[in-house]
Chains A and B, each alone.
Chain A
């Protein structure tokens, strides 16, 4: 698919409106790549002026910092800020709440000041502006969907409503888990847990959360973070429910419905 890079555009003397920060999961993880492609599809569909860093993008340092390795975090931040400022980046959209949080809250005091949007907020804006339109009979209409709040989007940064508004735009039936918004339960991946075995306990956190999600009777669990997505997918598989319950990112749901709109034409 056609995805412009900052380097290409810079060579042509162009500056895109936004930088799409893909992130490590979005770049390398096979499941998360689908989310990345879905979001790029939407950007292309809407004719958004954007670019990615491509090979110049690096880990933001989030898992290192949260594990306690401040040196490694600072090294990554230093290099990323150098690249971002070098291109004169003003606005960043991420598909991962961890990158979103780090750009928004932690890079500014290191010299990296950007306007940062999480993709769910960006998608809501596209819908509000009428740039993304869903057909009346989109595939999700009337479907029972539950939304899982990512900690670094919700509690960290207070983004609770944008992803829900996107779901409502499908005319889907949005059902809430008991623990939602500021009471939301972690998927178990944060704080660099994703990169190690869980400490010993009675239950896995992701299973606890996906059990709660499936308990709502929803057939789609909507996520807004590639790590949450993986954790919840594993939780659903753990209960052998992968044939009846899907875990999909908000971007994937939007991209799916875009397609169905195109098909109906």
Chain B
């Protein structure tokens, strides 16, 4: 019987690991569809960002109360995962509480510590559910989240509460700790006082199995969920651009073209390669933009801070990130099905993100400032704008006038360049 359980456990574990790795490889492949960009300079600053922004969740502390709750869930998740190590080893080896003997009294301390975290996680997740579904904070009821994304968020919170409860039930019903219960699960163990030892054991085993299968299922849910941020926030912080937020990326191809026009003697001989300007689809974006899309947890802090969005315009930086991920998933499936990307007459620009959304951006960088996981929606917006203007000459009439004024009069308005210093005459 025990051997069957062990074999079953190993099969479940292997299957879950295989499925997860397969999905991660797929996501990595999708991210690498993006344009290459070297983001490995200044490793010291990058490690600092990783520590402060990802591990330390520095930006979350712009709202301290939520930050503390989120930190409990996050720390609880990481710390209680140490317990998962024991559970997995028990499952493989057919042992029970493998670490109890070697750790001695320290084991009790550790499990008690985990139990306090479990209660903390349950409480924090309950508050988060209330914020989303009862208080209905504006950024959570936004139409960006209609459908799957809203359920996704709730499923995750419910799953966390369930997993933590199973962990506590498992401890409360364990006959081998019955005489000397742990602090938190000891409080609920009287609930099972009338139950025979045999039934207790069955409840404990059931909770144990559901708990570990739940964790493995949760792991495999991540690639389909906004919750992937628990993994990708780390590389995203490391590879975050280190330049000032207001600096736009240079386009060396355009820089050179202007230079060759001004100084024809510097132009290389021979036909130049045709270049595409800006981004129309996900493959035209940088791999970092695509990593951003998978790292986005759809919290909506960007959109809540967006001046265009808060005054009722169509633009929502969160939607820009969600659209990028949706389109990238679609392209990924296309490649998986056909072996390579087969044009589907769709593109990120137009089919997912409209001109009107792009036109509303003031490039104020509030979205970049707010993002707790170092995402830049602005960078994507600017690249799509570049495609609109440079590939398709699509600009509102007023912008075309502004462009021609700059070109001909060296100012965005139609003034005589000779009158540039008229202000000194008064």
Contacts and interface: CB of A to CB of B under 8 A. Distances in A.
Interface in A18-37: 22, 24, 26-29, 33, 36-37
Given A27-B423, A70-B251, A101-B247, A196 B399 contact: yes
Most-contacted residue by chain A among B277, B312, B363, B415 (CB, 10 A):
B363
A40 to B, nearest CB: 8
Contacts of A157: 244, 246
Contacts of A136: none
Contact of B421 (A5, A29, A156, A197): A5
Nearest to B424: A3
Contacts of B423: 22, 26-27, 33, 36-37
Contacts, number: 206
A151 interface: yes
Nearest to B263: A78
Interface residues on A, range: 35 or more
Contact of B390 (A37, A68, A208): A68
A40 B262 CA distance: 34
B1 to A, nearest CB: 61
A88 B423 CA distance: 25
B414 to A, nearest CB: 10
Nearest to B407: A72
Contacts of A69: 389-390, 395, 403
A155 B246 contact: yes
A86 interface: no
B406 A63 contact: yes
Contacts of B417: 55, 58
B385 A202 contact: no
Given A68-B386, A196-B399, A205-B311, A105 B246 contact: yes
29 contacts: A54-B421, A58-B417, A59-B412, A63-B402, A66-B385, A67-B403, A70-B251, A70-B386, A70-B390, A71-B257, A74-B258, A76-B406, A78-B262, A101-B244, A151-B364, A151-B366, A155-B246, A155-B369, A156-B365, A183-B366, A183-B369, A186-B362, A189-B362, A195-B399, A196-B402, A201-B312, A201-B360, A203-B311, A205-B307
Interface of A: 1-3, 5, 22, 24, 26-29, 33, 36-37, 40, 52, 54-55, 57-59, 61, 63-72, 74-76, 78, 101, 104-106, 109-110, 151-152, 155-158, 182-183, 185-186, 188-193, 195-205, 208-209
Interface of B: 62, 243-248, 250-251, 254-255, 257-259, 262, 277-278, 305, 307-308, 310-315, 356, 359-366, 368-369, 382, 385-390, 395-396, 398-399, 401-403, 406-407, 410-413, 415, 417-424, 426
Q: Which 3 pairs from chain A and chain B are nearest by CB? A: A156-B246, A202-B312, A191-B363
